[in-house]
């Protein structure tokens, strides 16, 4: 049998779990202090819900669960691969939230300010920063179409990051409606916008020439491609530039309000407009945003407005917007930086034998206000035990029956 975890998943050592627990609890505490409430949903969703969720590329990464018994045999006999699965693992926390809201709407506050901190699953090709099982830390506001909801999410997320000591980040923002207006203004049809957005999303990696070449390779009209590249070629491309191209639009005013308010409240970070920001999920309908850091290549978090997703369940449009912290990427940065829990007690060990076990328990209790105390049974080779304790981060130990306390690292 294999002892290693499945590729794209991980085992975490006690010291790593200690840090992960602290970070999650700190983020949760910040979210709650800002008036958000935590919920929990199943990791399994109906496959129909997942397939119709407008999840973009993530729909190709769903872990599907096959039918069982006679239903599976019938599907196999029919030779219809699409009918083999009836459930799947959630690929993010947004789709389960929208189903949850549709099911529990009458019992919830309006607007509903919600926290989710949980595992999600994607059939990714494992690489640094991309796993098949990972945590997301989400906050969402359902029921408000005001720009103030975006500001509240941005400032609350920034507080959560600051409270764990993560301060080297910025937030980029865009609006899908504005980006579509810019693209269509260059002569493209509305049904061509999604494909063009995928190419524009690569601008920071392949540059304007690379985007132009990719769009032409996709078969788009070269004159329209040239017009688009020329219109957005200003560096940096500002909201004023967007307004010159598209005229006065409500989404531009909306972005200005969000940016002005968030930046007036910002503590050590900046919210900036990025016309190439797309976000992969197809369910976004308006504002989109991402957290970026010089300490990591790629986004550390992101979100946006998804005003049409709940309507798939209820048959009516319900405004909603969310912001998610990519917990695994955040942890990777902090662990590389040798992150230390600021309020963590030091670890101390008490070593006992059968004759003094009761005394060891009583002695350990006298230390627990100051230390996290663990008990270990005595062994013949104490030197090896001492070395292992020091390696595991213990500051010292006492062998029962001996008055001397051994301090490690001295």
Q: Tell me, what's the pLDDT at 19?
A: 94
CB neighbourhood size of 206 (10 A): 13
The per-residue pLDDT for 6 is 93
Pair (11, 136) in one structural domain: yes
Indicate the number of domains in the chain.
3
Give the pLDDT of residue 129: 67
Residue pLDDT, tens place only, 236-274: 889 998 998 899 999 999 999 999 999 999 989 999 999
Residue 114 is part of a domain; what is its CATH number? 3.30.930.10
Average pLDDT, the chain: 92
Q: Is residue 253 part of a domain?
A: yes
Q: Are residues 143 and 19 in the same domain?
A: yes
Residue located via tokens 């203004």:
185
Q: In terms of domains, do 191 and 273 share one?
A: yes
- Asked if residue 127 has pLDDT above 80, the reply is no
Task: Please indicate, yes or no, whether residues 255 and 313 belong to a single structural domain of this protein.
Answer: no
Q: Which domain holds residue 225?
A: 175-278
d(CA 383, CA 403): 18
What is the rounded radius of gyration, in angstroms, for the C-alpha atoms of the chain?
26
Q: Are residues 18 and 151 in the same domain?
A: yes
CA-based torsion, 338, 341, 342, 347: positive or negative: negative
Q: Write phi, then psi, for 130 (nearest 5 degrees).
A: -130, 115
Q: Which helix (H) or strand (E) element contains residue 173?
A: strand 170-175
Give the residue-averaged pLDDT of 320-327. Answer: 96
- How would DSSP label each residue in 392-404? TTEEEEEETT--P
d(C-alpha 292, C-alpha 27), whole Å: 18
Residue 55: per-residue pLDDT: 72
- Least confident segment among 111-125, 141-155, 267-281, 370-384: 267-281
d(CA 5, CA 177): 43
Q: What is the pLDDT of residue 410?
A: 65
Is 59 a member of any domain? no
Q: In what order do the strands lie in the sheet with 287-293?
A: 37-38, 112-121, 133-142, 320-326, 296-305, 287-293, 170-175, 271-273
User: Mean pLDDT across the stretch 207-229?
Assistant: 90
């Amino acid at each position: 049998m294999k002892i290693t975890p499945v590729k794209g998943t991980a085992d975490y050592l006690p010291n790593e779990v200690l840090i992960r627990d602290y970070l999650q609890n700190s983020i949760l505490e910040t979210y709650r202090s800002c008036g958000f409430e935590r919920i929990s949903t199943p990791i399994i969703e109906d496959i129909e819900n997942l397939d119709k969720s407008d999840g973009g590329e993530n729909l190709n990464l769903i872990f599907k669960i096959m039918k069982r018994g006679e239903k599976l045999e019938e599907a196999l006999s029919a030779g219809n691969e699409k009918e083999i699965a009836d459930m799947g693992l959630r690929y993010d926390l947004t789709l389960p939230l929208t189903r949850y809201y549709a099911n529990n709407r009458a019992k919830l506050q309006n607007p509903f300010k919600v926290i989710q901190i949980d595992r999600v699953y994607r059939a990714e090709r494992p690489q640094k920063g991309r796993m098949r099982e990972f945590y997301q830390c989400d906050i969402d506001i359902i029921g408000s179409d005001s720009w103030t909801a975006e500001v509240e999410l941005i400032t609350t997320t920034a507080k959560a990051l600051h409270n764990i000591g993560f301060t080297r980040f910025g937030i980029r923002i865009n609006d899908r409606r504005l980006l579509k207006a810019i693209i269509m203004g260059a002569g493209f049809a509305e049904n061509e916008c999604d494909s063009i957005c995928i190419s524009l999303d690569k601008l920071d990696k392949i540059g304007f020439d690379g985007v132009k070449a990719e769009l032409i390779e996709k078969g788009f009209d070269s004159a329209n491609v040239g017009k688009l590249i020329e219109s957005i070629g200003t560096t940096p491309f500002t909201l004023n530039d967007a307004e010159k191209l598209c005229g006065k639009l409500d989404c531009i005013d909306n972005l200005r309000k969000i940016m002005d308010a968030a930046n007036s409240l910002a503590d050590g970070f900046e919210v900036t407009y990025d016309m190439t920001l797309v976000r992969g999920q197809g369910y976004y309908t308006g504002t989109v945003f991402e957290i970026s850091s010089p300490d990591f290549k790629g986004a550390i978090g992101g979100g946006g407005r998804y005003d049409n997703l709940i309507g798939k369940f209820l048959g009516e449009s319900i405004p909603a917007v969310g912001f998610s912290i990519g917990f695994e990427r955040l942890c990777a940065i902090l662990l590389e930086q040798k992150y230390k829990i600021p309020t963590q007690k030091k670890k101390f060990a008490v070593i006992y034998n059968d004759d003094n076990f009761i005394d060891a328990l009583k002695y350990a209790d006298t230390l627990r206000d100051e230390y996290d105390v663990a008990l270990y049974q005595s062994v013949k080779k104490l030197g090896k035990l001492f070395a292992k304790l020091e390696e595991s981060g213990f500051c010292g130990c006492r062998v029962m029956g001996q008055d001397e306390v051994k301090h490690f690292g001295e």
